Amino acid sequence: MSDTEKTGSAHLKQPLLWGRFSPLVLIVALIGLVLDQATKLWLVHGFDLAANGPVGLLPVVDIVLVWNRGISYGLFQQHSDLGRWLLAGLTVVVTVGLWIWSARCASRLLALALALVIGGAVGNGIDRLAYGAVVDFVHFHVGTFSWYVFNLADVWIVAGVVGLLYDSFQNGPNSAAK
């Protein structure tokens, strides 16, 4: 058998939807999703942050209600139904792609990083479908400096991206793509 045939047959044997770390990815993504949605539901409906906020927690942290109709850092704001549904569709496509990647990954760190991104993406996607915007509520500020307002799903996504970057540098170029 030639090297090309071996590579081709090995590539075909890679799992598409369920792999070695898929149970870990599913559990971590679900835990992240549940924590994200529980905090948002409580702040929006239980505490009624729109009526009772903002709430100062620390001199540098407030809980405020911001409806983000865009993506990260409020980029690409969408005020139409078409834009909302396009962003929701993009979330689905990206999440499926990340899941397929996670089914093929060979390290626990990479699987954990992908799980965090998936959990965060699904959490923000649910908001977009339910409210037409993502619920953001944590606001860091120091003096006149104000950081963007974010939620737990954003924390999961950033932590996952940090894990992906660490994995790519830890194992050499192109390791995350394997």
Catalytic: 127?
no
Per-residue pLDDT of the chain (178 residues; tens, 9 = 90+): 555 555 555 555 778 889 999 999 999 999 999 999 999 999 999 999 999 989 999 999 999 999 998 766 555 556 667 777 888 888 999 999 999 999 999 999 999 999 999 999 999 999 999 999 999 999 999 999 998 899 999 999 999 999 999 999 987 665 555 5
Nearest to 32 by CA among 96, 116, 135: 116
Catalytic: 3?
no
Q: Which of 36, 62, 127, 154 is catalytic?
A: 154
Q: Which of 36, 62, 136, 167 is catalytic?
A: 136
